[in-house]
């Protein structure tokens, strides 16, 4: 079948419904998934997108027509889906497009927890199978069975913290009409916090704002309310709940690398000497804080397929990505939005400090640019040009090009989906140096 090859991404399948991804394509992807993995049972869940029911029905039909059974876990967040895959031990398909706009949908695919299909390992194989339709003839038709892991999931995430230590903190949570609202209410109902919820009901029409809290307009209302209502902290989740973001008591957005540094240091109190992963874009605050707490910091390329595999191989207890993904050994090395929120509540309760105090220590020493995107005609050529221009620095090519000097460093890498270069730069000398070097590198990128 002729299928748009661009829907087969580095970490998942994703496209606009119904032009790029429709029922016919989803059906063939279901058959291809079973064929490629030789799966006997496939776990299937979905998010709240309006195209979800149709694509869910199509992909499960494909799975069953190819002879495998379907473990139907219904409408769930992605961390609930990972939990189901861990509990049952089967491969899985989650019908979701994460934080993409509402016209998108797609599939996040688990080979076997914690290993996912990625562009290098499986996703392009699926594309070739879909195009050729070279499926073996099955000997039976699969059956569908429904499963509900909600209560076990609630018990699992609460088991990771000391519930009795939680104080009646004032918390405002915005789930943006994504998938996290229902399960978050189940979890938080068992904690003595003062919860104010925003847009907790899943609604694929997204009547309030977009699903990506990294976009300032999608978190502006939450930031304002945290400040106006004197909350201790604010939490935001992306559409499918595998990414998490926090707002401090000043109403300020907390960058993913600072949150990784704070959580990493806290988790090392529980497991001294452990390994912690961070991605190439991160502030030096992460390795500095991990080492200061007696841990072992390990840098890895961006992307959940790479992070999960490396964590499992290294037996690391925690990983954080600048983009808001947080991974936990205690959760089968998977990412979850709910779990980091619980650790922050526990930490604030036990330490009796304000979030802004913990951040102030980092903000006064590490000056970060945040991620800046630039459109370029040839990503590879531009990355080589940058490496040549800054060849007097320490150059690493773990993911894109990373360059380090004594007081500043940066990473530039191409987008997986668009002709963009993403820059993250930091100075430990001053905000002025960060801004000057940021503008200098941007001038090279955009020349």
**Catalytic residue list:** 98
Torsion angle defined by CA atoms of residues 234, 424, 411 and 428, in that order, rounded to the nearest 10 degrees? -90
Backbone dihedral angles phi then psi of residue 378, each to the nearest 5 degrees:
-140, 100
């Amino acid at each position: 079948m002729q299928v748009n090859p661009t829907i087969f991404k580095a970490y998942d399948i994703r496209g606009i419904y119904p032009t790029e991804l429709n029922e016919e394509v989803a059906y063939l992807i279901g058959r291809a998934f079973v064929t490629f993995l030789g799966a006997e049972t496939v776990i299937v869940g979905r998010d709240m997108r309006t195209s979800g029911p149709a694509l869910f029905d199509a992909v499960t039909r494909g799975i069953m027509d190819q002879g495998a059974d379907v473990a139907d876990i219904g409408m769930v967040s992605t961390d609930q889906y990972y939990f189901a895959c861990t509990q049952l031990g089967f491969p899985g398909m989650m019908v979701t497009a994460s934080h993409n706009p509402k016209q998108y949908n797609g599939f996040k695919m688990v080979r076997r927890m914690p290993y996912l299909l990625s562009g290098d390992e499986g996703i392009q194989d699926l594309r070739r199978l879909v195009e050729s339709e070279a499926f073996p003839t099955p000997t039976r038709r699969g059956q569908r069975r429904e499963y509900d892991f909600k209560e076990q999931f609630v018990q699992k995430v609460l088991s990771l913290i000391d519930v009795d230590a939680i104080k009646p903190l004032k918390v405002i949570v915005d789930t943006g009409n994504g998938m996290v609202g229902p399960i978050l209410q189940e979890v938080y109902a068992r904690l003595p916090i003062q919860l104010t919820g925003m847009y907790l009901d899943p609604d694929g029409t997204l009547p309030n704002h977009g699903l990506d809290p990294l976009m300032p307009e999608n978190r502006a209302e939450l930031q304002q309310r945290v400040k106006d209502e004197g909350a201790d902290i604010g939490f935001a989740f992306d559409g499918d709940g595998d990414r998490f973001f926090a707002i401090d008591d000043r109403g300020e957005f907390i960058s993913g690398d600072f949150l990784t540094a704070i959580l990493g240091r806290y988790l090392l109190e529980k497991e001294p000497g452990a390994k912690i992963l961070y991605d190439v874009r991160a502030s030096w605050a992460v390795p500095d804080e991990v080492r200061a707490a007696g841990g072992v910091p390990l840098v890895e390329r961006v992307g959940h397929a790479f992070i999960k595999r490396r964590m499992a191989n290294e037996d690391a207890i925690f990983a954080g990505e600048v983009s808001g993904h947080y991974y936990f050994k205690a959760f089968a090395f998977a990412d979850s939005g709910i779990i980091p929120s619980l650790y922050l509540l526990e930490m604030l309760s036990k330490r009796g400090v304000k979030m802004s105090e913990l951040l102030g220590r980092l903000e006064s020493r590490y000056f970060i640019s945040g991620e800046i995107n630039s459109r370029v005609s040839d990503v590879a050529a531009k990355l080589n040009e940058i490496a040549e221009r800054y060849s007097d620095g320490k150059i690493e090519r773990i993911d894109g090009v990373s360059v380090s000097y004594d007081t500043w460093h940066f990473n530039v890498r191409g987008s997986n989906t668009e002709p963009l270069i993403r820059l993250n730069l930091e100075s430990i000398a001053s905000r002025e140096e960060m801004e000057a070097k940021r503008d200098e590198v941007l001038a090279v990128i955009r020349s």
